[in-house]
Amino acid sequence: MTRFDRRVKIVSFRLSEREHRDLREFCTAHGIRSMSDLARRAIQWWSVGDGAADESMAIAIHELEGKVHALDAEFKQLARRLPGVSRSGQSS
């Protein structure tokens, strides 16, 4: 999906309480923002024929890059709290 594509259509389906809970837990465990994102990814994966897999992979890579960046920032913050570590994160 390009940056300017608006999501204007809704697709709905019913889940049991257990299915809903399991999918919610799956999203949380895998860093997926919402069940809508999960459903879009699943449909893209399923419809590989039109380049959706490439887009899905690009989305996954972008999300991983964001997580790596956040982890790097957290590590640097933790390193600054340790005695004997300079502001750059290098041991002195």
The model's pLDDT over 68-80, given as tens digits with 9 standing for 90+, comes to: 999 999 999 998 8
- Given a contact cutoff of 8 angstroms between Cβ atoms, the answer to whether 67 and 60 are in contact is no
Q: Give residue for tokens 């897999």.
A: 53
Q: Which pLDDT score, from 0 to 100, does residue 53 have?
A: 60
The full set of domain ranges for the chain reads: 17-81
Q: State how far the Cα of 26 lies from the Cα of 60, in Å rounded to an integer.
A: 15
Ramachandran class of 89: left when φ > 0, alpha when ψ lies in -120 to 50, beta otherwise: left
Which of 1-5, 40-44, 88-92 has maximum average pLDDT? 40-44
pLDDT, mean of residues 5-23: 87
C-alpha gyration radius of the chain = 19
pTM, two decimals, is 0.43
By three-state DSSP, how is residue 43 classified? helix
Q: State how far the Cα of 5 lies from the Cα of 66, in Å rounded to an integer.
A: 22
